[in-house]
């Protein structure tokens, strides 16, 4: 019985050791696990179901703006990457390289690579260059523009240190690539896709974000401008949750993507690229999770409801299961934001551990069904956004009737809770001393959760930015789009500034 005295399902709790809490939550939730392959993860069915729903949401939003899906090769000739100078610089250090195409028995019976390739291939870290190669062939006339393409794929970036969902050597993502006749149109597309990321984050993941421009030092290698959406996690650190790049004509020139205008001149196209990844799942975990595990926003949860039949005596089994199955059927016919409610039935005979399993998995609603409920035509429900012990009995009819309303209510409560946290840990700071204090933990040995978002002025100099990063591990997350122009002086050097930027520690 000692376990029953435990206060929370996840140990350590967030306040005690946030990074360890994150690992434990993932383990307890059955979302994913480390693979035997260095730096890689296995996404388990519950986690993949979550990703499928996120994909479904974004895919349909992309398509409403005219984007079509396609697929390009995993391998990119080394020479392609070399075409854009800054691009090479940015990605070269983290590329996996394929150098051979065959294995042979070695002297000790082990397999050794043989058949060296004449030109090594890299495993795509991103696909601008290989897609650019196709774009160059597909685009000849102004009538071919705009070209709006997206691909759902895996990419590989050989990171030094990895964390499940946040930074793994291989991850799943979508990358959109578009080509346009004019600069304005490409810039507009860059903004449009950023808005879709913000919409996905806020309306579906219940994760409030700030839209903004990256500073030159944080820009995508080869981009003219990088936009991002930034969310605050519960340790007050920022998570970049989607990026949209205006690439100017850099990649058009590198890949010779040209078109003929109506006036018969030959011009380079203007391109954009934009991506978001399984990292979003890490964002969901760290935005909504509590000390009992993850909490999934109903709109993207693989299942919204789990039914837990309570069978005390064998003779009750049939009646309880029948009631449970008929309720499941009824629920599955309910439309929730364009899709059927997904229902799980868990009749494992493992006592109370069953309920906790689903709490840790973050399912929005748990419904207990026992003989008493059947007699009363009722159900006993627990909401994941409330305390595990906070459950109530309501009539079956009312439950069915109000189900989508309750789910929407959970969705909204999660968003508002996250927004409140962000507000509580966001400050306008104009004093350098105060700025340093804000980002300095009181306990240097074992830093407590501290900091947040600081809206402060920046002179625009890379040296100030670098100094702050060096001194405090704080970076400029973005130059917010939706903010007033306001004159001030740089938080670090006192030089004039035209706008506040968002400073934070980041993932």
Partner RNA sequence: CGGGGCGUGGCGCAGCCUGGCAGCGCGCCUGCUUUGGGAGCAGGAAGUCGGAGGUUCAAAUCCUCUCGCCCCGACCA
- DSSP conformation class of 214: P
Question: Residues 320, 309: contact at Cβ < 8 Å?
Answer: yes
Q: How far is the CB of 287 from RNA (least distance, A)?
A: 14
- Using alpha carbons, select from 223, 222, 201 the residue that is nearest to residue 211: 201
Residue with smaller CB distance to RNA, 169 or 190: 169
Q: How far is CA 92 from CA 65, 82, 83, in A?
A: 33, 9, 12
Strands across the sheet with 305-309, in order? 343-345, 305-309, 365-369, 378-383, 391-395
By C-alpha distance, which of 259, 254, 222, 274 is closest to 137?
259
d(CA 457, CA 211) in angstroms, rounded, equals: 17
Shortest Cβ 323–RNA spacing (Å): 10
Least distance from C-beta 161 to RNA, angstroms? Answer: 4
* 32 vs 147 by CB, closer to RNA: 32
- CA-based max dimension of the chain: 84
Q: Which tokens sit at 461?
A: 């100099």
Retrieve residue 425's tokens.
């840990």
For 225, 360, 400, the CA distances from 200, given in Å and listed in that order, are 22, 24, 27
When the beta carbons of 41 and 254 are compared against RNA, the nearer one is 41
Sign of CA dihedral 344, 349, 355, 358: negative
For residues 214 and 228, is the Cβ–Cβ distance under 8 A? yes
Which of residues 83 and 157 has its CB atom nearest to RNA in the complex?
A: 157
Of 187 and 373, nearer to RNA (C-beta) is 373
> Position of tokens 């999770």?
289
Cβ proximity to RNA, 134 vs 278, nearer residue = 278
Q: How far is the CB of 274 from RNA (least distance, A)?
A: 11
Q: How far is the CB of 51 from RNA (least distance, A)?
A: 12
Nearest by Cα to 474 from 430, 431, 440, 429: 440
Cis peptide before 12 (omega within 30 of 0): yes
d(CA 499, CA 479): 8
Taking alpha carbons only, the member of 191, 176, 190, 178 closest to residue 148 is: 178
CB of 1 to RNA, least distance (A): 6
Specify the residue, 190 or 411, whose C-beta has the smaller distance to RNA.
190
Residue among 255 and 278 whose Cβ is closer to RNA: 278
Report the nearest approach of RNA to the CB of residue 173 (Å): 7
Residue 427: half-sphere exposure toward Cβ, Cα within 13 Å: 14
Min CB(478)–RNA separation in Å: 11
Provide, rounded to whole angstroms, the least separation between the CB of residue 498 and RNA.
25
Nearer Cβ to RNA (285/311): 311
CB of 373 to RNA, least distance (A): 5
Residue number with CB closer to RNA (146 or 309): 309
**What H or E segment, with its residue span, contains residue 260?**
strand 258-260
Of the two residues 4 and 265, which places its CB atom closer to RNA in the complex?
4
CB of 474 to RNA, least distance (A): 11
Shortest distance, CB of residue 250 to RNA, whole angstroms?
A: 16
Residue 182: what are its φ and ψ, rounded to 5°? -125, 155
Q: How far apart are the C-alpha atoms of 126 and 189, rounded to whole Å?
A: 19
Cβ-based nearer residue to RNA, 75 or 507: 507
3-state helix/strand/coil string of 316-381: HHHHHHHHHHHHHHHHHCCEECCEECCEEECCCCCCCHHHHHHHHHCCCEEEEECHHHHHHCEEEE
Interacting residues toward RNA by CB under 7 A: 1, 3-4, 6, 8-9, 19, 23, 34, 38-39, 90, 93-94, 157, 159-163, 166-169, 171, 218, 220, 240-241, 243, 275, 277-279, 292, 308, 310-313, 349-353, 355-356, 368-373, 380, 391, 473, 507
């Amino acid at each position: 019985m000692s376990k029953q005295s435990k206060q929370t399902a996840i140990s350590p709790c967030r306040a005690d050791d946030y990074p360890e809490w994150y690992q434990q939550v993932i383990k307890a939730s059955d979302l994913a696990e480390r693979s035997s392959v260095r730096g890689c993860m296995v996404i388990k069915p519950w986690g993949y179901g979550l990703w499928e729903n996120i994909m479904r949401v974004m895919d349909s939003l992309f398509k409403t703006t005219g984007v079509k899906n396609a697929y390009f090769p995993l391998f990119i000739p080394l020479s392609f990457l070399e075409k854009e100078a800054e691009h090479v610089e940015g990605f070269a250090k983290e590329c996996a390289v394929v150098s051979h195409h065959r294995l042979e028995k070695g002297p000790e019976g082990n397999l050794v690579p043989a058949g060296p390739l004449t030109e090594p291939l890299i495993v795509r870290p991103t696909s601008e260059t290989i897609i650019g190669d196709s774009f160059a062939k597909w685009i000849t006339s102004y009538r071919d523009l705009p070209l709006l393409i997206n691909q759902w794929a895996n990419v590989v970036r050989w990171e030094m240190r990895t964390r499940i969902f946040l930074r793994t050597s291989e991850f799943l993502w979508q990358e959109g690539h578009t080509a346009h006749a004019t600069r304005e149109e490409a810039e507009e597309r860059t903004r449009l896709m950023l808005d879709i990321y913000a919409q996905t984050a806020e309306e579906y993941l219940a994760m409030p974000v700030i839209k903004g421009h990256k500073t030159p030092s944080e820009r995508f290698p080869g981009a003219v401008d990088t936009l991002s959406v930034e969310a605050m996690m519960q340790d007050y650190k920022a998570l970049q949750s989607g990026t949209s790049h205006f690439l100017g004509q850099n990649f058009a020139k590198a890949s010779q993507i040209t078109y003929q205008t109506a006036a018969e001149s030959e011009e380079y196209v203007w391109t954009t690229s934009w991506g978001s990844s399984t990292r979003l799942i890490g964002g969901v975990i760290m935005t909504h999770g509590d000390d009992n595990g993850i909490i999934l926003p109903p709109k993207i949860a693989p299942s919204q409801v789990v039914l837990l039949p309570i069978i005390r005596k064998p003779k009750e089994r049939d009646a309880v299961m029948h009631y449970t199955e008929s309720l499941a059927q009824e629920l599955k016919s309910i439309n929730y934001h364009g899709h059927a409610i997904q229902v799980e039935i868990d009749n494992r005979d493992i006592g109370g551990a069953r309920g906790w399993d689903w709490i840790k998995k973050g399912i929005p609603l748990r419904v207990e069904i026992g003989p008493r409920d059947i007699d009363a035509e009722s159900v006993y429900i627990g909401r994941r956004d409330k305390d595990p012990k906070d459950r109530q009995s309501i009539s079956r009819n009312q439950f069915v009737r109000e189900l989508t309303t309750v789910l929407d209510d959970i969705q909204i409560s999660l968003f508002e809770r996250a927004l409140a946290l962000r507000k509580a840990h966001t400050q306008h700071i104009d004093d350098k001393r105060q700025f340093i204090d804000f980002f300095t933990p009181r306990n240097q040995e074992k830093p407590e959760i501290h900091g947040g978002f600081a809206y402060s002025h920046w002179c625009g100099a890379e040296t100030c930015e670098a100094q702050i990063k060096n001194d405090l591990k704080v970076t400029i997350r973005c130059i917010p789009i939706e903010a007033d122009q306001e004159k001030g002086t740089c938080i670090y050097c006192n030089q004039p500034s035209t706008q506040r930027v968002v400073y934070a520690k980041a993932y």
